[in-house]
Structures are given as C-alpha cells and as structure tokens.
Amino acid sequence: MDNIEQHDEMGIVSGSVSLRFGLPADGGGVDLGSVMGELRDASLRCFGEVYGLQVHHDCQGTGPCVEVFEVTAKCGTVFVEAGATPDVVVVSAETAVLDQGEPTSRADARAVVRELLETTLRFLSSPERRRREQRDVLHVGERTATERADALFCQISRGADRARELRLIVRCTDLTTLEGDDTAGRVRVLCAEARRPDPFDATVGPTAAVCVYPAHVALAAELTKHSSVKVASVAGGFPAGLSDLEVRLADIRHAVAAGADEVDIVLNRSLFLDGRTDAVTAELVASREAAAGAHLKVILEVGELGSLQSVADASRLAIAAGADTIKTSTGKTKVNASPDTVFTMAEVIAEHYQLTGKRVGIKIAGGVRTADDALGYVAIVRSVLGPDWLSPALLRFGASSLVSNVVEDLATVDAAVQLPNNEGAPLGTPSLSSQNSIASSP
C-alpha cells in the first residue's frame, strides 16, 4: 500500500489506493459487478456489521460516467470503481473522526481507513483465494473436528504406558537442524545424539533419522552408516518452495545423490491458495520422480492454508501425487502443527487407506517441544489410524529439542514405575470408531 493517499476534511478521514491486476491473455478487464457482488455477500466477514451495497455513477468532469460500488459498514464506507485502464480498480475508504479535538481520535480514524483499504484489497486481489476462503468459512465440520482433536490430545498416557510411548517417540523422531549457521561440527553432534539419544541408557533410541540441509547430507550419511538412523534432507526450495521448478528438482536430485534416504519437500502454497491445483499436482509428480527411490515427505505448511478444509484438500492432493508421508510444517512459520490439523491429516490418511489399502505416513513438525506435546499427538494418531501407525515407518516427529526433553521425562518415569528397559507390550488398541479407525492388517 505504498501509493495510499489520505485526506482529513470536516471530521472525515479518507484514503485511496489503486490495485492493478495485470491484463489476462484475452485482454479483458476486471468484472467489477461480479467482484462487488461477492464482496457484498462476504461483507459480514470482512467489515463486521454492513448496512448495504449501492451502485451509483460518478459523472463529474467531461469524461464518461464511472460506475462506483459503495459498501457502507458500521466502521466506515468503502468505494470501488474502475481505474484509467481495464486492469486497474481504485479503492477508497472513509470514516468519521469521533472527536475532532483529540489527535488520538484522528489517528484512530486513519487506522480504521487503512484497515478497510487493506481488507478490501486482500479480498479483491485474488479471486481464486477469495472463493476458497468463502467456501471454507461455510465448512460445518471444522468446529467438531477441532473439539474431537483437542479431546484426544488431552488423553496422555501415564505410568508404564507413558514410558513405552516416550520410547516410541524417540524412535519416531527426525532429529533436526535447519539453521543458516549449521556447521559440520553441529551435524556431528546431531548424528551422535541420534545414534545414542540417552547417554545413560543405551536401550533408548536411536532416532528414526537426522534431518539436515542438502549441503550436509554427505557428512550425515557417513556419520550414520552402519546404524539404523536414516538421513533426511529438506529440498525443493525449502521452506518457501517458490524458486524455479527446475532449480527445485535439481535440489532434490542433489540431496538423493549425496546419500539422502528421505527427502522433505514443500507444497507450493502460492499455487494451491490461488486454486491452481493442477499445477501443484504437476510439481509434486515431478518432485516424486526426482526423488527416485527416496522416501518422499510433502510438507503442507498447515499454518498458511487457512482452514481445516484446505488442510484436507492439500493432504489428498499430496497423497494422490505420490507422497509417502505428509508433514504438517516446516517449523519456519508462526503457526505450526496443532491437534486439529494433525487430526484432519490423519483422517485423510485413513480415508486413503480404506479406499486403496495403501498406508501413508504422517510427520508432525513445528512447535512440538515437550513430552506432553508429542504424547498428545500419539493419542490422536492411535485413535484415528490405529496401532499399526505407531512405528517409525509411519509416524514421525520433526524436532530439534524434543528428544532431550523426552529423554529427561523418560528417566523420571522409569524411576517412578521401575519399568524394565524393554519395549513392553504393543502400544494402543484399535479405535472403536467405524468412521475414523483402521483395523490392523494381518
């Protein structure tokens, strides 16, 4: 909003900004009538209480009359009209200053105008994303899914069951370092911890894998050979996934050639949110081919998808394109894994298994730091997918600090219950829900 203009007159603060779409291939302009109809229908969500949408004509000057769409809301008024060229619209907003004698009131009014302009611009700028968001708002199952996920997340095991599950979590963790200052020394320490997570108890671990950038794959492969620890590498333009596709594919091939057993790539959220799912699928299929025989994990970046419905759609798309595992997050955004997103992903995996008989893994990453965090996610996976998913082949945690926290917790639990240092009985029992659980295979 660099070209915003603001005016203060007679107790009214107003501002305007131009939005350019770029002409489509057919040279057509923006259908303002259609766009504003959608804005009217979505106004309750965008502006709070809305009093109405009007269309009038501005016939000032010697030029042709301009059609102006006016949305009046409790906090102010927004005007949208065609610009000087077919691919430009002009958005204006105004609101009243409640107390003209107070500088803070005028500043508050300017903040309201700016918010109205930004909200309208976001709505107008991406038709595909706008329609997806409107559809997602109407999705009725999200509240129920969130409530069920939160309830399961709280079902944390205690005593001997807790000890067994903590050992499982260690064995299912991709011990990770993905920082710009990663060095060979840090990777050596990472691999040592992966092979022996608990220096006091050799029966704990090892972890499922170490996860590093492609530049450190060769070293990690050398340091973990002759062990069960896999080498996972982020690739494909991690974490944004917006570099040129050929660059991303070369990144994947390089990681595999360097010795990566597993590759964690990112779903192109830009294409997905713009509704270009065919392009997303094509990229993922190409990435699947570039990964060759390596285990492919597709990161959805759930915190950027906007709704549980989008999480489900992205999960289905990634699985259909050949993902071996779907993963919640990169850990590089403000919003990461959550009980409801993990629950939603697990339900899609269960649906896929019921339809095809093929098991797809789930990796929970981003913000999983404490033993209770991980145990809550184990409870969700057990309930939705059943005990077959409670193994490193199908369940992973991506974390840097989780393992040390789990090991510390495990030592306390072992001491309290005097649990022998062995795996114990199989974890969990099949879910009783006919819709969401999967019976164990023979």
Q: Select from 125, 160, 190 the last residue of a domain.
A: 125
- What's the pTM value of the predicted model, to 2 decimals? 0.77
Please identify which residue in the block is written with the tokens 């709505």.
123
Residues 209, 316: one domain? yes
Please identify which residue in the block is written with the tokens 């918010």.
115
What is the reported pLDDT for 102? 57
Residues 104, 219: one domain? no
Helical ranges in 295-401 per DSSP H: 308-320, 339-356, 371-385
What is the reported pLDDT for 1? 44
Name residue 266's beta-bridge partners.
299
Residues 324, 406: one domain? yes
What domain range includes position 187? 142-417
Residues 84, 220: one domain? no
- 434 within a domain of the structure (yes/no): no
Residues 121, 88: one domain? yes
Q: Which of 112, 92, 85, 106 is nearest to 29 (CA)?
A: 85
- 232 within a domain of the structure (yes/no): yes
DSSP category for residue 430: -
- For residue 326, CA distances in Å to 10, 268, 426 come to 57, 14, 24
What is the reported pLDDT for 327? 98
What is the reported pLDDT for 103? 56
- 441 within a domain of the structure (yes/no): no
Q: Select from 95, 125, 155 the last residue of a domain.
A: 125
Contact 173, 397 (CB under 8 A): yes
Residues 198, 304: one domain? yes
Contact 217, 190 (CB under 8 A): no
Contact 284, 326 (CB under 8 A): no
Residues 285, 330: one domain? yes
> What CATH number corresponds to the domain at position 396?
3.20.20.70
Residues 55, 147: one domain? no
- Please report the DSSP string for 9-46 in residue order: ETTEEEEEEEEE----TT-----HHHHHHHHHHHHHHH
- 437 within a domain of the structure (yes/no): no
Contact 195, 206 (CB under 8 A): yes
* pLDDT tens, N- to C-terminus, the chain (442 residues): 444 445 555 678 888 888 887 755 544 555 666 666 666 555 545 565 555 666 666 666 666 666 777 777 777 888 888 777 777 888 888 888 876 555 558 788 888 888 888 878 877 777 666 556 555 544 546 668 888 899 999 988 887 899 999 999 999 999 999 999 999 999 999 999 999 999 999 999 999 999 999 999 999 999 999 999 999 999 999 999 999 999 999 999 999 999 999 999 999 999 999 889 999 999 999 999 999 999 999 999 999 998 899 999 999 999 999 999 999 999 999 899 999 999 999 999 999 999 999 999 999 999 999 999 999 999 999 999 999 999 999 999 999 999 999 999 999 987 776 645 544 444 544 443 333 433 333 3
What is the reported pLDDT for 165? 96
Residues 195, 88: one domain? no
Q: Tell me the backbone φ, ψ of residue 123, rounded to 5 degrees.
A: -70, -45
- 148 within a domain of the structure (yes/no): yes
Contact 170, 207 (CB under 8 A): yes
> What CATH number corresponds to the domain at position 56?
3.30.310
- 131 within a domain of the structure (yes/no): no
Grouping H, G, I as helix, E, B as strand and the rest as coil, residue 101 is coil
What is the reported pLDDT for 222? 98
- 423 within a domain of the structure (yes/no): no
Contact 408, 169 (CB under 8 A): no
What is the reported pLDDT for 9? 55
Residues 38, 79: one domain? yes
Report cis status (omega within 30 of 0) of the bond before 239.
yes
What is the pairing mode between strands 395-399 and 230-234? unpaired
What is the reported pLDDT for 274? 87
Residues 113, 158: one domain? no
* Number of domains making up the chain: 2
Residues 253, 359: one domain? yes
d(CA 71, CA 40): 7
What is the reported pLDDT for 100? 56
- 261 within a domain of the structure (yes/no): yes
Give the residue numbers annotated as catalytic, written as ranges.
264, 327, 363
d(CA 77, CA 332): 37
